[in-house]
Chain A
Amino acid sequence: MTAAYIILGISLVAFGAMAVTALVWAARAGQFENFKAGSESIFDSGEPIGEPTDLFPDVDRAKLAAVASRAAKGAARP
């Protein structure tokens, strides 16, 4: 019983310390800055932002582009 509380106590302290360390590291390493670059890291010149990469095999791309530009106008409105 006592042993259980001791190990719980130790684990809480150890866990807390590790969590703080991880947080401090993350802040220092710039994980909390430059989120924009992070979120854009999956795009490149071959598959740029703004271009869908998956469609049903029977979709007419010109028709989709028309729908998409209408939707984009709607979304861009503040």
Chain B
Amino acid sequence: MNRMRNLFIGFFATFISSWLGLVVAPHLQFGGLKEHLDEDENQYLPPARTGLAERGARVYAANGCVYCHTQQVRPAHQGSDLARGWGARRTVARDYIHDRPHFLGTMRTGPDLANIGHRQNNEGWHHKHLYAPQSVSKGSIMPPFRYLYKTQRIVGAPSADALQLEGPDAPQPGFEIVPTEDAKALVAYLISLNRNYPLPEAPVD
């Protein structure tokens, strides 16, 4: 029985060292980060997300966007992230306080999305890109998300939010393609991704 106890103390000790170091200590150090009040602009940073964008984050998770897109900008000495225009500054811990769960990602089959809302804030572009990626990004290997859209017969005037598609992606005459609530939420979320504001620990120069 003695041997068993000692063996378990060893297992416990080695494991708890990493648990304290990589879980508890980071949590105590910056788990309580709060928004920063920017007095010049009189707004809290990072800004809170709208309800629609928050719902969009669920759609982002459900469809596995994170497997090809990161949401983190590395500092200038680590990779070409800044030089590629993926952000005005590196991202820091405070940028993620609203993320539940986090979408930092580990793979860049597609470009980083930490600031996609800054680079592209046109809803129509995002909808076309999600429906038929190659129609706006030639050579893209992003899967089409047609199931987030519905095809319907035009009754009366065409819908205001119908996609402006051309060529083989366009619907048959008399029909139109409109985004579902999920697609609208996802695009609202993507446009909300903009971490280019200055923070005390990460100024934009």
Contacts and interface: CB of A to CB of B under 8 A. Distances in A.
A7 B24 contact: yes
Nearest to A11: B20
Given A11-B20, A26-B6, A29-B6, A4 B25 contact: yes
A7 B13 CA distance: 15
A11 B3 CA distance: 24
A3 interface: yes
A1 B25 CA distance: 9
Given A15-B16, A15-B17, A29-B3, A8 B25 contact: yes
Interface residues of B, number: 16
Interface stretch (A16-24, A40-48, A52-60, A65-73): A16-24
A8 B21 contact: yes
A1 B16 contact: no
**Could you tell me the dominant secondary structure of chain B's interface residues?**
helix
A11 B17 contact: yes
Contacts, number: 38
B10 interface: yes
Interface of A: 1, 3-4, 7-8, 11, 14-15, 18-19, 21-22, 25-26, 29
Contacts of A18: 9-10, 12-13
B29 interface: yes
A1 B9 CA distance: 29
A10 to B, nearest CB: 8
B6 A15 contact: no
B198 to A, nearest CB: 22
Interface in B65-79: none
Interface string B1-43: 0110010011011001100110011101100000000000000
